[in-house]
Amino acid sequence: MASRRILSTEKGVLDVDQNGNAASTPSNEKSDISPAVPASVIYKLLAATLAMVILPLGTYFATVNTIFKGNATFAGATAAVMANVVLIGYIIAAVKEDESERVDADKKSKKSE
């Protein structure tokens, strides 16, 4: 069995990156640790998720015995319609947010000129 020699000048496995280059020393620059997605987007997603669960179920149980007198088919169809309403509302909110970001970027570029 062969023994391995370790020299202080030799680059070990941890000192070399994937391409075989020596690892660089850490720089003094601050790293960007800001979230990739704004908090408002996360809140909208959470609200849409809760609405997607609560609204159809609430609609089903509210209408199955009161409006449709035990007819589960019509109550289920109403719940499906409400799920689609939530989905369409989320898509509209996402498109409006994307448009507002584009408008803000255009204003910033015009301002810097």
Indicate the pLDDT class of residue 65, thresholds 50, 70 and 90.
very high
Compute the mean pLDDT over every residue in the chain, rounded to the nearest whole number.
84
Indicate the pLDDT class of residue 73, thresholds 50, 70 and 90.
very high
Q: Which amino acid is at 51?
A: A
pLDDT at 5 over 70: no
Question: How many other CB atoms are found less than 10 A from the CB of residue 71?
Answer: 13
The alpha carbon of residue 71 and the mean position of all alpha carbons in its chain are separated, in whole angstroms, by 38
pLDDT at 25 over 60: no
Question: How many other CB atoms are found less than 10 A from the CB of residue 102?
Answer: 10
Cα distances (Å, whole numbers) of residue 106 to 20, 37, 38, 56, 92: 43, 20, 19, 39, 21
Question: Which of 5-19, 51-65, 95-109 has the lowest average pLDDT?
Answer: 5-19
Higher pLDDT, 84 or 106: 84
Structural domain boundaries of the chain?
A: 39-112
